Amino acid sequence: MGEVFLEANGLYKTYGSGQGQVRALNGVSMQIFDGELMVILGSSGSGKSTLLNMLGGMDKPDKGSIMVDGQDLCRLRDKGLTRYRKEKVGFVFQSFNLITELSAYENVSMTADKAADPHIAEKMLELVGLGHKKDKYPTQLSGGEQQRVSIARALAKNAKMLLCDEPTGALDYETGKQILIELEKLSRVHGQTVVIVTHTREIGRMADRVIHVRNGKIIETEINEEPIPAERIEW
């Protein structure tokens, strides 16, 4: 494991009130290390996506701390959280969230222009195997290609951590596997910190660590001494 990039301690989050109250997180503590490939695994309603939102600075806990580079995200105001999301974190969602009126290059370049220290958009498209389709529009790309554009867009920010929320959820099996291979390469070859949230247990076999979440709690942390290559995973 590398150095600790992020450390969360005692995270609690409750939504609603009265009989409709739901405790999404119930005392979660965890670390994320530089360069690791982590999977956060849990069923629907387990709290895994809420946890991802906390780690990405998109939501705040009711209680607890999230330390990054000596700063507690939970104490930052909106401006500080915006800076954190801009400079430290890239997001890949189940829905690709591409702008249909823009080409693949323009979708990536738009994000890169807003970053503090961006990589070149074309280089990021080449990294995910889409340099030859930089001028194509989202409607001219397959689902897997659109997801790779979204990965390139996240990487263009030169963020230290890539947060992926069910990145294969909207894709067929073979295309989903190709996306996992791309994410694996980013971690293993390029040293990117990659966190994948999923309900698919088999995907955890490719990770350095698997965080099992149930009812808003981490019930188990599993360390894979010999992660299985993504191309060999079946689900």
- At 33 the pLDDT is 96
Strands 63-68, 71-72: parallel, antiparallel or unpaired by DSSP?
Answer: antiparallel
- At 180 the pLDDT is 94
- At 115 the pLDDT is 62
Question: Contact 11/181 with Cβ under 8 angstroms?
Answer: no
- At 59 the pLDDT is 92
Q: How far apart are CA 149 and CA 128, in angstroms?
A: 8
Question: Contact 94/52 with Cβ under 8 angstroms?
Answer: no
Which has the closest alpha carbon to 6: 115, 117, 153, 162?
162
- At 137 the pLDDT is 96
Q: Give all domains of the chain, ordered by start, each with its CATH number.
A: 34-62+77-232 (3.40.50.300)
Residue that the structure tokens 């906390």 belong to: 54
Q: How far apart are CA 114 and CA 116, in angstroms?
A: 7
Query: b/e for 55-87, b at 16 or more Cβ within 10 A?
Result: bbbebbbeebebbbeeeebbebeeeebeebbee
3-state secondary structure of 8: strand
Q: How far apart are CA 134 and CA 104, in angstroms?
A: 5
* Whole-Å CA distances, 12 to 17, 22, 32, 143, 176: 15, 11, 18, 35, 32
Tens of pLDDT along 92-119? 988 888 999 999 999 998 876 666 566 7
pTM given for the model: 0.89
Ranges of residues in the chain whose predicted pLDDT is under 50: none
